Each structure stands twice: as structure tokens, then as C-alpha cells.
Amino acid sequence: MTVNRHPPVTDFATDFDHTDPTWVNNPFPIWDELRATCPIAHSDRYGGTWLPVTHEHVSAIAYDTDNFTSRAVVVSEVRPGPLDLPAPIGVAPPITSDPPFHAMARRLLLPAFAPRKVDALEPFTRQLCNDLLDALEGKDIVDAAVEYAQHIPLRVIAKMLGFPTEDADYFRHVIHLILEEGITATEDDDERLVEGQALDAYFDNQIADHVANPRDDLTTFLLEAELDGNNLMHEHVRGTMLLILVAGIDTTWSAIGSALWHLAHNPEDLKRLAAEPDLMPFAIEEMLRAYAPVTMARLVAQDVEIAGCPMKEGDWVLLPFPAANRDPEFFDRADEVIIDREENRHAAFGLGIHRCLGSNLARMELRVAVEEWVKRFPDFELADPSAVTWAAGQVRGPRSIPVRLPGRSS
């Protein structure tokens, strides 16, 4: 699957493009080479974009909220315009917010994603995984991404927000538009405008329904929440709903898919994990390190020089946490997946004030999804390695993983 409408890249140090098929299929060799030769690359694409690839530079920029704004976090041909909510709020608070507003918007949401709240969703998630696995029983070849991984965060997030589960297909469509098609869309794209209005109308309907029938979910929580004694602006509620849909689904689906893809072609790791379930917490963190799904982005807020690179106000900066996680200066045997790695200071959920709000939820979903799959199918394998496809854009994960489920003797 690719949405690339750009000319192919011939030199990633001077003309990189994260939607180029070479990057989409396997970005690791690109980052390895850049790390050794040109640790911050530049490309004129998207109106000017920088790419740090070392842990040192990625973390320095993540922590520097003075020189880098989060007002836009998905690199595209379109920079935020005058009709978008002004900084420091942004269109999807708090991911698109800067200090000091960011802290207030984030503090409001943190309790809903704290460990104890997330723990309460574990039985639902485990049941969901088992229902999905039941449906795979008796089949020879199944798609672990399409028939399993993608459904888990879709249904968990729909449940959290209190949106109808039947709307899952619509959410998938919206996420694809924003995270993949949106990268190369232009400002006067009518289809994009119409889709945006339809999504606003969908959120408005859900809000009206929750106003009429308040219930114990995140939508009612947002509607009743207060900042400085006032309810949230309508646009703030819609923006946060958008954030939770977009950031909570594709990302976790990608992490689950990557973990299953790894186990499907590394039988020794699969065997060990099935036999030693105590390894699971370490294995999960290692999967998150090695296959971190999310690359973030910033806009340069004011002219600044980083490691000799003259970054200009308005330039994009890609923040590839997956590249930082493979930096051999920072990690021992960085390019190997070591499922019992004990020391693992990975940055899969970002660094600094924008640490992934849903990291506890994502980690729980990933662990439960892998635990239940491995328990049910401890000897599955990749059916056709060449049929595995990867998502293009800033969220990386397999979108199709055909696997063979060996028939079991009864």
C-alpha cells in the first residue's frame, strides 16, 4: 500500500521522503547509513524538511519546545492555516499544543489513561482477543493484521469514547485519509474539505447524543470537564476526539502487527515466549524498541542551528523515534531483537512533555494481544513473506501479514 505521488528518491541524505517505497518497505538501512554519514539530513520536499536520526538529536529536539512547535505533527504539503485553532491549542489538543496551554489540556486527560483506568479495560480486551481468535480457528491461512491486530484498538477506542462499534469501518477510513492520503493532499483539495466536514458532523452527533444521554465514557468525561472553571470549547472536544481516534488506533494496530510479524518469522523467539511467559514484559518493550511505530514531527518555531544545521522558521522536522531506538551509540546490539533485553531505555512513546498519552493503554493492548495469540497459536509461521505490506507515512506497521496456522491434533 502506498500513497506516494512524489518522484522516487535517489539520495536520502539530500532528498529524503518518508513516503518513498524504499523507506516504507524498510527504513532501517536508510537511517543506519545517515547515522554514519549525515546525522541530520535535509530535503526540499514538503516545503523543507529536516531528519535527525541519532538518539541524541531526536531527544534534543523533542525536549526543545521553545524552538520547535507541535502545532502540526504530521508532515504534509499543507502547513497549519489561519482557520485552524491558533497556537498554543492546535487542532487536536494536547498533541498539537505548546506550553503553557499544553500542560492544562494534558492534565485534564491524564487520569483517563493512568494505569489503574487502563487495567480496568484489560478483561474486555482479553475477551475481545479471544473472540477474534475463535473466528480464526480451523483456518489454514489467515491475515494477522487484517483479521486480528487492527480490530483490537478499533474496538477498545470505540468503547472508551462510547462510539458505536459498528462505526469501526468509518474510523478506519478517516485514519487512512489523515495519516496516509493526507500527506500528499494539497490545500484546495475539495474531497479533503468534504471529509473534514463529514467527520465534524459525526463528532457533533456523538456529542449531542452524549449530552442527551450522559454515560460513563470518555465523551461524557470531556463534555463535563472544566478548564479554568469553564467547559471545554466545542472545538477542543472535537479536536481531542480526533486525537484519540487517530493516535489510539493505527499506532497500536501497527505495534501488535509488528510483534506478530516478528514472531511469525523468528520461530526461536516464538518458542521461547510460549515456554517462558515471564519474559513477556521484556519482550513487549523490545518489540516497542525495535519496531516503534510512531515518527512524530515538529515545525521550527524560530530560526535555530542544531548540530550545524540552519533550521528556518516554518521548516518541518521529522522526529523518528524508531531511528533513535536503533542508534548503536545508545543501545547495545541496537539492530538485533533480543526478547529478554533487560536494560531498554527506548523512546517508542516519545520523550518529554508529549510522551504518548495512551502509552499505558497501548502497552496493555499489545501485551494482551500477543499473550492470547501465542497461547492459542504457539507454532504459527509467515505464509508468504513477500505478501507482507507496510503502511506509508509516520505510523509504520504491517497492513497485511498472511500467516499459516498449523492444524492441531485433537
Partner 1 sequence: MRVHVDAEKCQGHNRCYSLAPELFDVDDLGNAVELNDGNVPEGLEHKARLAVANCPEYAITISE
Cβ closest to partner 1, residue 107 vs residue 408: 107
Cell numbers linked to 225 = 470537564
SS3 288: helix
Say how far apart CA 233 and CA 215 lie, in whole Å. 20
What part of residues 348-377 is at the interface with partner 1 (CB under 8 A)? 349, 351-353, 355, 359-360, 363
| Least Å from the CB of residue 223 to partner 1 | 20
| φ/ψ bin of 346: left (φ > 0), alpha (ψ from -120 to 50), beta (otherwise) | beta
Binder of partner 1 out of 14, 25, 99, 107 (CB under 8 A): 107
Say how far apart CA 40 and CA 199 lie, in whole Å. 37
Cβ closest to partner 1, residue 129 vs residue 362: 362
| Least Å from the CB of residue 338 to partner 1 | 14
- Is residue 70 near partner 1 by the rule CB under 8 A? no
Q: Which of 245, 246, 249, 253 is nearest to 369 (CA)?
A: 253
Q: Hey, which residues does 306 pair with through a beta bridge?
A: 309
Q: Which of 61, 56, 62 is nearest to 331 (CA)?
A: 56
Kindly report the number of other CB atoms within 10 A of residue 134's CB atom.
10
Say how far apart CA 347 and CA 320 lie, in whole Å. 10
Cβ closest to partner 1, residue 105 vs residue 403: 105
Stretch of 108-116, 252-260, 271-279, 372-380 lying at the interface with partner 1 (CB under 8 A): 108-116
Cβ closest to partner 1, residue 108 vs residue 263: 108
**325 φ, ψ to 5°?**
-70, -10
Stretch of 10-18, 110-118, 143-151, 215-223 lying at the interface with partner 1 (CB under 8 A): 110-118
Cβ closest to partner 1, residue 5 vs residue 345: 345
Say how far apart CA 399 and CA 232 lie, in whole Å. 36
To the nearest 10 degrees (0 to 180), the angle between helices 234-264 and 267-275 is 100
Binder of partner 1 out of 23, 31, 50, 113 (CB under 8 A): 113
Cβ closest to partner 1, residue 332 vs residue 335: 332
Binding characters for partner 1, 262-281, by CB under 8 A (x = yes): -------------------x
- By the criterion CB under 8 A, which residues form the site for partner 1? 107, 110-111, 113-116, 281, 285, 342-347, 349, 351-353, 355, 359-360, 363
